[in-house]
Amino acid sequence: MGYGAIMSPGVPATGTTLSHARFLSHHVAAPASALPLFTATLPKHVLIKPSGLRRTRGAVLSAAAGVGGAVLQDAAATALVVGGAYALVSTFDNLTRRNIIEQTLSRKLVHILSGLLFLASWPIFSASTGARYFASVVPSLNCLRLVMNGLSLTTDEGLIKSVSREGKPEELLRGPLYYVLVLILCAIVFWRESPVGMISLAMMCGGDGIADIMGRRFGSVKIPYNPQKSWAGSISMFLFGFLVSIGMLYYFAVLGYIQLEWMQTLERVALVSFVATLIESLPTTGIVDDNISVPLASMVTSLLVFGY
């Protein structure tokens, strides 16, 4: 289905919508001057009587205006969120440079806020089927930024300081890069119709992010099978990941994108949060980054319990 299919949020495409969209995707935007040529190419059985031609012309022109409006809305939303991403990173870079917050905390706050604010921005994109691709441009541009700086092809000191542990450019090619790749995956594959992407980002950004912050500060009692992780960090991840997931699901449900039976949803999200927390607590010995294992575990568990 081309960009021309205008889908209302929260309203699954109907047969009429699809057939209308399919007609438009084959015939849309024939400029008025081309209409006589346009009708000459139509098979006889669908040739439109003059009276019907005016109706169809109106439908085609209004649909083209709709498609154009959706593209403009998505382009504007993309520009706004790209600007927000730059502003977020540079804000925390300034706070770190002025020693208002320490670098480790700054990085974790960027970790928590980037993905959750990106997720929260999804409703400003249009209802068209192409909107998710516009939204994915934001993490894609940041992916390029991370690769260019990680390979030292460019040097954005603010970015490197804000998202690396030790200020080494090559660090950008691991955790941060996996992080934005997960954002792209969730935007394109799950988007606003499925709870899976929402929960996975809530666990990767909110859950895993808070585990580090709480674990470093209050993590004196270590987990028996992994002395690098603590009960404080894991319990914080479970609770905060659960709460942020429910919050995000409620946000998208109130806006009409998803409909959930909430008692069942609470149980399901608790299970997803438990599995993701358990996976995060395992000794990974640096082989598998948390920004891969946590969202992956969340996606698989969410798909199993929600089914879509």
Ligand X SMILES: Nc1ccn([C@@H]2O[C@H](COP(=O)(O)OP(=O)(O)O)[C@@H](O)[C@H]2O)c(=O)n1
At 212, which amino acid appears? Answer: D
Number of neighbouring beta carbons within 10 Å of residue 169: 20
How would you class 36 by CB atoms within 10 Å of its CB: exposed for 0-12, middle for 13-18, buried for 19 or more? exposed
What is the Cα Rg of the chain in Å?
Answer: 23
CA distance 18 to 24: 10
Of 6-14, 116-124, 150-158, 279-287, the window that binds ligand LRRJ3J73 (rule: CB under 6 A) is 116-124
The binding track of 69-108 with respect to ligand X, each residue x by CB under 6 A or -, is ----------------------------------------
Q: Residue 233 binds which one of ligand X, ligand LRRJ3J73, none, with CB within 5 to 8 A depending on kind?
A: ligand X
Task: Point out which span in 53-61, 113-121, 237-245, 278-286 binds ligand LRRJ3J73 (CB under 6 A).
Answer: 113-121
* Residue 162 within binding range of ligand X, rule CB under 6 A: no
How many CA atoms are closer than 13 Å to the CA of 92, on its beta-carbon side?
Answer: 24
Which residues, other chains included, contact 227 with Cβ-Cβ below 8 Å and sequence gap of 6+?
none
Among the listed residues 184, 60, 66, 15, the one whose alpha carbon sits nearest the alpha carbon of residue 114: 184
**Near ligand LRRJ3J73 by CB under 6 A: residue from 3, 125, 179, 191:** 179
Q: Which is nearer to ligand LRRJ3J73, 5 or 112 (CB)?
A: 112
Q: Is 107 in the site for ligand LRRJ3J73 (CB under 6 A)?
A: yes
Residues interacting with ligand X, by CB under 6 A?
175, 208, 211-212, 215-216, 219, 228-230, 233-234, 237, 280-281, 290
Residues interacting with ligand LRRJ3J73, by CB under 6 A?
81, 84-85, 88-89, 107, 110-111, 114, 117-118, 121, 138-139, 142, 163, 175-176, 179-180, 183, 290-291
